[in-house]
């Protein structure tokens, strides 16, 4: 039975003492002392590159420490690999789901650990055990259902159930709300609180400050691989936490100030794409940032992909500066002056094995006598690494080795080099720390001031409400309404956006 004592009075479920991790030429984790208590949500905070990911991998035994001691429930935990860590009760839910889409839910929950005897798998026992786990995470679906047919939020809960299948006493959650809506996030927090009430220690990683203050009990801040401070979340405010994370003053995270927009630059009229986008029509003016809100699956990304030519619409028109465009593929969109920062930059936005210089120039290669001008390519890349403050030792460094924030800046640099006049930003802040987000949003504000037309797609309403001049709300493939910034901000609210996104009764009608 779980003790009723507060988390602070319970023993550490996990303790790290003097833990170090060195890679060739890099100290990723430096002399870390950390205690995670049974029944608490312990937040790990810090900028990208602070050492959070490495520390998680050390705890999950994906990586071995260079030195130091890890203790689980008071006993030393020698490095024996991730399988051994799971057997000991340490589970990790990765930001990018690790599920087999063509297998059933129950098969995913027990893959490699199937119940049975004498080499035979008991599917009935597996199904019964799966039902118990699914009830534990509040997921009312059939265990025989294929994972590929589940929503993002449902897959998130399957990942949680999979973690609990090993009787976890320590649960690591890496950016668990990155793809969830506000209501789905609240549901997840309810599950997390139920787990901590059962005595499970939760190590929670998030870049969203409001989440840290809502779900966290204590927070440990990392900077340059070392622990800066561990404090109760209730002892801090956002400004103090940001100061601990970055070790410097950060410009106002959301710099946007209202300005009178110019002429219409982008006009989309009656765009249709299969069953995902229906009769979408909207305009974006010069100097304007227009937001796109909606639940997961509302059609926002599909609309952006159709404008960019990544998906061929069934009907509709796209006009730029009064000129009707014929976009059959992304090359046509790029030539017309449209750039798209994709939601999944690692899958669709970057060539991860290639250098920063190649990734920046791949949409507009500098040529000389029919060959790529490598000197010009290097100079272009160096220009953007300086102006956008891309942290990289040399421009030929493979982009896969960069933090998420620096990778996003590389994608932005590519579209700036093409001279794009319309920029579609799809979840640009996802996986970025507060310092990198601040730089990205300031850059967006500068681009709007130059007269460019920007579209910002985000599932995080504070980004939309603070950065956008207008917010278009999508539901089931349709634009269901518009929320405009007003002098008193009376309509510019989360409640108004959520009402349009969910189809709830709108009190403003």
Which helix (H) or strand (E) covers residue 166, if one does?
none
DSSP letter at 443? H
Rg for the chain (alpha carbons), in Å? 24
d(Cα 500, Cα 15) in Å, to the nearest integer? Answer: 47
Q: Which domains are seen in the chain, by residue range?
A: 7-246 (3.40.50.300), 264-502 (3.40.50.300)
Q: Are 45 and 221 in contact (CB under 8 A)?
A: yes
Contacts (Cβ under 8 Å, ≥6 apart) of 135: none
Cα 321–chain centre separation: 33
d(Cα 291, Cα 427) in Å, to the nearest integer? Answer: 11
pTM summary value: 0.66
Q: What is the pLDDT along the chain (509 residues), one digit of tens a residue?
A: 344 555 556 679 999 999 999 887 678 899 999 999 999 999 999 877 788 888 999 999 999 999 999 999 999 999 999 889 988 999 888 877 778 888 899 988 888 777 777 767 788 888 888 888 888 888 888 889 998 888 777 888 888 888 888 788 999 998 888 767 777 788 889 889 988 998 999 999 987 888 899 999 999 999 888 999 999 999 998 888 888 887 755 556 788 877 889 999 999 999 999 889 999 999 999 999 999 998 777 899 999 999 999 999 999 999 999 999 999 999 999 999 999 998 877 777 888 899 999 999 999 989 988 999 999 999 999 999 988 888 888 899 999 888 777 888 899 999 999 999 999 999 888 767 777 788 889 899 999 999 999 999 998 888 898 899 999 999 989 999 999 886 555 677 777 888 888 776 554 54
């Amino acid at each position: 039975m779980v003790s009723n004592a507060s988390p602070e009075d319970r023993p550490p479920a996990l303790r790290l003492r003097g833990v170090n991790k060195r890679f060739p030429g890099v100290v990723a984790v430096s002399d870390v002392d950390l205690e995670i208590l049974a029944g608490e949500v312990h937040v790990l905070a810090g900028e990208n590159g602070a050492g959070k990911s490495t520390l998680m991998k050390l705890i999950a035994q994906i990586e071995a420490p260079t030195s130091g001691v890890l203790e689980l429930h008071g006993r030393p935990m020698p490095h024996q690999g991730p399988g051994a860590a799971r057997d000991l009760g340490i589970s990790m839910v990765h930001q990018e789901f690790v599920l087999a889409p063509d297998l059933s839910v129950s098969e995913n929950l027990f893959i490699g650990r199937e119940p049975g005897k004498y080499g035979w798998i008991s599917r009935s026992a597996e199904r019964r055990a799966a039902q118990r786990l699914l009830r534990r995470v509040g997921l009312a679906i059939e265990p025989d259902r294929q994972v590929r047919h589940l929503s993002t939020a449902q897959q998130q809960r399957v990942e949680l159930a999979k973690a609990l299948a090993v009787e976890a006493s320590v649960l690591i959650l890496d950016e668990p709300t990155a793809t969830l809506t506000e209501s789905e996030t609240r549901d997840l927090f309810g599950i997390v609180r139920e787990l901590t009430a059962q005595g499970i220690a939760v190590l929670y990683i998030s870049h969203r400050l409001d989440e840290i203050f809502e779900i966290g009990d204590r927070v440990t801040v990392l900077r340059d691989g070392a622990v800066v401070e561990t404090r109760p979340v209730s002892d801090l405010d956002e400004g103090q936490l940001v100061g601990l994370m970055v070790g410097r003053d950060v410009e106002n995270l959301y710099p946007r100030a209202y300005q009178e927009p110019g002429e219409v630059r982008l006009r989309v009229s009656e765009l249709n794409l299969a069953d995902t986008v229906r009769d979408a029509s909207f305009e974006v003016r010069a100097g304007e940032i227009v937001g796109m809100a909606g639940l997961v699956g509302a059609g926002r990304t599909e609309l952006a992909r159709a404008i960019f030519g990544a998906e061929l619409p069934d009907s509709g028109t796209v006009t730029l500066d009064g000129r009707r465009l014929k976009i059959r593929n992304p090359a046509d969109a790029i030539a017309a002056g449209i750039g798209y920062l994709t939601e999944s930059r690692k899958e669709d936005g970057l060539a991860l094995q290639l250098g920063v210089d190649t990734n920046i120039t791949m949409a507009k290669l500098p040529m000389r006598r029919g060959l790529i001008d490598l000197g010009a390519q290097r100079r272009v890349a160096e220009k953007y690494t300086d102006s956008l403050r891309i942290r990289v030792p040399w421009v030929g460094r493979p982009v896969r080795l960069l933090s998420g924030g620096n990778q996003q800046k590389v994608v932005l640099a590519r579209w700036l080099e093409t001279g794009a006049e319309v920029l579609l930003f799809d979840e640009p802040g996802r996986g970025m720390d507060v310092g990198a987000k601040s730089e990205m949003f300031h850059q967006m504000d500068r681009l709007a001031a130059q007269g460019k037309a920007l579209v910002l797609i985000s599932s995080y309403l504070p980004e939309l409400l603070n950065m956008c001049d207008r917010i278009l709300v999508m539901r089931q493939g349709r634009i269901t309404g518009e929320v405009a910034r007003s002098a008193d901000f009376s309509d510019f609210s989360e409640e108004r956006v959520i009402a349009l996104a969910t189809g709830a009764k709108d009190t403003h009608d």
